[in-house]
Amino acid sequence: MPSGTIDSAPQTLEAFNGLFTVRSDVTSGQLHDEAQLRQNAAVGILHALSSASDLNTLENHLLLDCIMALRLLCSDAAALYSAACEHGKAENQSPS
């Protein structure tokens, strides 16, 4: 595959995996809200792309940047939703 194809972009994304940490002083609700913000941003990018009259007019690197942003936002959202679930369980188990 040529070096400018979509398959070459994830290699740089892999460097970011695992660097995401969650502060211990946040609530499950705050984590959920942050996840929702990232998910909404990803949906906004998809909406903008789907509304474009002709994606073939976009430069390759711009489309790849959009795909990278979507992957990062979705990955962050998934990590935040997971952390929100874990924090929620811990909050429910902690003594009153």
Neighbour count for residue 27 (Cβ, 10 Å): 12
Cα separation, 27 vs 91, in Å, equals 8
Q: What is the pTM of this model?
A: 0.70
CA–CA distances in Å: residue 38 to residues 45, 53, 69, 72, 91? 11, 25, 10, 9, 23
Q: Which two tokens stand for residue 59?
A: 């430069």
Per-residue pLDDT of the chain (96 residues; tens, 9 = 90+): 344 444 433 334 344 455 566 777 889 999 999 999 999 999 999 998 888 888 788 888 888 999 999 999 999 899 899 989 998 898 888 775
What 3-state class would DSSP assign to 78? helix
